[in-house]
Structure 1
Amino acid sequence: MPELIAPTVRLHTAWREARDEWGPGLHEDGFGLGPSDEVDSPQGFAAWVARLADESGPKAAEADGGCTYRWIVEGNKVHGGIALRHGFDDHVLRFGHIGYGIRPSSRRRGLAGWALGQMLDEAREFGLDRVLIVCEAGNLASVKTIEQRGGVIEGVRDTEHGCTRRYWISI
């Protein structure tokens, strides 16, 4: 049975296996991985996990910022990640409140929809009554997942990274 957990150094090897399956780059939505994060060494990974914990903490939430990060795991396997951005700043308006990614070998199992449902519950606990979710226009799996969770399309926009679809989900 899958579960959502806070990032942990315990799953360093499992997380790297998921990352390696995606291939090089920072395209693993939901993990909060930045260009300056060094995650291969135990020390670098621990520093990254600590940063994610700081961004998820109560001080970040009180400041109308921050982000709650969760990993989608089953046993010792990391299937993906999902993030809930707090607040309503320019970053949220551009990328949405929730971002997620499922490693290729774990797709088509309903994990994204399940995790999205769990994260909508967390959004409610933060006092949000609706959330914005943005996905690439051609990502039909995400389109289906978002629409199955009640997403109503706001529109389609051209961005510097391609064409995106913007959805609102009422909680």
Structure 2
Amino acid sequence: MARNVYLSGAAVFLLLLLVPPMIQGADNGSVGLSIVAKPLHPIDKNMEAQVATIIKSRLLAFGIENVSVNTTINSSSGETLFVIRVFPVNSTDVELIKHVISDSGLLYLEFGGTVFATGADVTVPSGQYGLDLRRGPTVGYVGFQLSDKAQDKFKQVATHKVGGLLTSSSVLRSIL
């Protein structure tokens, strides 16, 4: 019993000695951060590379520098894991990194406050995205197609909101 109390006391003492320098190091930007993320669904090698590129470019766009994103396979389950490393990182960057990695990536299309499509309803044909350099160096475009279900839902929502009848898919395209 006395040994357990001694070990617990020693652990608390070490914790009290080590935590302030760790916090100070985080505030000075002299610590690194590693995050292991697992996709919700299994993905193939091509998608792995795309996801890693997207994660890295989003973190860079939010001002997080010195980012590396690697993929690895969990040896016990065979699942793909993404290892995101940032060094140095300060305490304010940690929440931003968590937000960018975990809370982003959901797509909802709405009209007049009503959601009519999600990311599952959208497909981007190959080559239908890029930069429009005629408008400026940072102007991008993405051509996309909606599923039939999402188009029907949009027609219902738009008809209700606008008060008219939408029958032509060209009208749908011009509104989008």
TM-score (norm 1): 0.24
TM-score (norm 2): 0.24
More strand by share: 1
In terms of Rg, which structure is larger? 2
Of structures 1 and 2, the one with the larger relative CO (CA 8 A, separation 6+) is 1
